[in-house]
Every structure is written in structure tokens, then in C-alpha cells.
Amino acid sequence: MTKPVRKAVFPVAGLGTRFLPATKAMPKEMLTVVDRPVLQHVVDEAREAGIEHFIFVTGRGKAVIEDHFDMAYELEATLQARGKAKEYAALMADLPPAGATSFTRQQAPLGLGHAVWCAREIVGDEPFAVLLPDMVTMASGARGTRCLAQCIEAHRAHGGNVIAVEEVSPEETHQYGVVAKGAERAGSFEITGMVEKPAKGTAPSNLIISGRYVLQPQVFDLLGKVGKGAGGEIQLTDGMKALAATQAFSGVKFDGATYDCGSKAGFLSANLAFGMARPDLAPTLRAQMRKLLGE
């Protein structure tokens, strides 16, 4: 029987150089999509998928992340004293239960694979999820769930390891991890190979690894051994590739929308999409966009 996926790892130790100077003194994961930090959207997705324990791999200058997922007594007392019951209730609803979060530090940004490896003692011997906070997903597809829930469904059905993928144009594949596609099944397909940042024209498909994973704990030992890969970093893809020698991997093409909030255009698009999904904001936003487009 497949063990349930209870824990999720959020690697948040990167430097966020693409968003300087905004990220000089503030973690990029705390930039907001409408009124929620990017990381809060991703934690929401994990909670909806049934995750019970949230493991953050942080680094220097990221302490505010720990504060965000804790109580804020002064603020909460002030909201209550001023009769702001709705705002208070919203904060309480977002607060993870006591003991449901863990924080560890990566110490040096040696790559995503290394960041995930840093969570090995907290995860222990059970399957776990990884969510890259750069990617924010929206349940806009027919299945009505966000990406991690769809990955966990595939894990329930087939066990092993699961990677969410997304289609891009063949000219873009060299910037990403790319999978090779095997047999198709209901809701997922078999992955027959993977490569991190393939040289132009050599990618095995146009399906890129898009920031949500369900992995078996054996990946930790392999991540400890793989060494530096593409870009001089310890790559998660290299650890998964080593694991694929002995374990099955499934791919899930997410039925919904994904926004790459690690890029400026993706981040701005996410703000527009999430803003337009809010009845309190959509009419004003639509009018503003019409004006900007000169309509």
C-alpha cells in the first residue's frame, strides 16, 4: 500500500536576484499576488491537498517567513479591540496548527537539490511533496483542484514518484528541466527520462518540470551524492534521475493555470489573473486595463 503524503517541503533559500531591488531586504516569496504573499498561495495549495506538516528550507534574511506563519499577538489584539472581526477571522484561518511547521536553513544557496536535501531529517522515511514557491497555480480547470492535489491523486493511483509538467514551445525547453513521455494513463503518464536544461534542440519533449513533486525518501541519499550539475548547482532533477533507475516516475499535466512568479512577466500576470478572479476587484481592474490598452 502507498503511504499517504503528509509532509511538504518549500525551498525558500534562493537569492531572488531577478527581482532586485525589491528582494534586497525582503524575501521574494513574500512579494504579494493581490493581498497574499506568493508563499501563502502555495501553502494554501498544499493545505487543500491534505498536507499536514509544512517544512520551510530558509536562509539568511528570510526570518520574516517564520513570523508570517506564526501568531502576531499585537496585531490580533488590536484587530479584536477595533471590532475588525472579519480580518481577525481571516488571519486565524490562515494560521497553521501549532507544531505543523518546521524551519531549517540551507546555509549556502548550493541549488534546489541541496535545499530539498536539507529537509531530510524532518521528512524522515515517508513520501513527501515539494512545492516551488515560484510557481503559483490556480484551480481554473475542469477538475477544480490545484496542482499538488492532482499530483497526490496520481500518487494514490500509481505510487512511486510524481512530477507536474507543463507544455512550453520547443524554443524554451533549454531553460528548464524536461521529461521524456512514455505510456499515457488516466490523469497521468509514465516518465521515461529527464534532463536539466538540455542544450538547444536536444530536449526529449516540450514538457517541462513545473514546480510540484511527490517524491520517495530514497531521493535524499541520492541528492547527497549527485554533486554539482547544470549551472554549478546541486540539481533536484539529477537526484530524481538517479532515483528513476530503481523507481517509477509519473508525469501530471496540470489541469488549471500556472504562473511563474519567479519572472517579472509571470508575477504581473498572476496579479492580474488572481485580481480578476476576485469579485471585489474585477470590475475596477477590467476598467483600468481597458484604459491602459486604449480601448
**Binding-site ranges for ligand UTP (CB under 6 A):** 11-18, 28, 57, 106, 109-112, 114-115, 132-134, 262
Smallest distance from ligand UTP to CB 196, Å: 12
Smallest distance from ligand UTP to CB 66, Å: 15
Q: At what angle do helices 147-158 and 38-48 cross, to 10 degrees?
A: 30
Nearer to ligand UTP, 110 or 273 (CB): 110
Smallest distance from ligand UTP to CB 31, Å: 11
Nearer to ligand UTP, 46 or 57 (CB): 57
Q: How far apart are CA 261 and CA 253, in angstroms?
A: 19
Smallest distance from ligand UTP to CB 30, Å: 12
User: What would the grid cell of residue 166 be?
Assistant: 507543463
Bridge-based pairing state of the strands 161-167 and 249-253:
parallel
Q: How far apart are CA 234 and CA 6, in angstroms?
A: 25
Nearer to ligand UTP, 5 or 57 (CB): 57
Nearer to ligand UTP, 43 or 79 (CB): 43
Query: Which residue's Cβ lies closest to ligand UTP?
Result: 14
Nearer to ligand UTP, 189 or 254 (CB): 254
Strands (E), the chain: 7-11, 32-33, 36-37, 53-58, 101-105, 128-131, 135-138, 161-167, 177-185, 188-196, 207-215, 249-253, 257-260
Smallest distance from ligand UTP to CB 127, Å: 20
Phi, psi for residue 142 in degrees, rounded to 5:
-65, -25
Give ∠ CA 158-129-257 in degrees, rounded to 5. Answer: 85
Smallest distance from ligand UTP to CB 290, Å: 32
Q: Which residue has the cell 500500500?
A: 1
Nearer to ligand UTP, 16 or 229 (CB): 16
Q: How far is CA 244 from the centre of its chain?
A: 21
Four-residue CA torsion sign, 140, 167, 118, 110: negative
Smallest distance from ligand UTP to CB 263, Å: 8
Nearer to ligand UTP, 115 or 244 (CB): 115
Smallest distance from ligand UTP to CB 101, Å: 16
Q: How far is CA 183 from the centre of its chain?
A: 26
Nearer to ligand UTP, 160 or 262 (CB): 262
Bridge-based pairing state of the strands 128-131 and 188-196:
unpaired
80's enclosing H/E stretch is helix 73-81
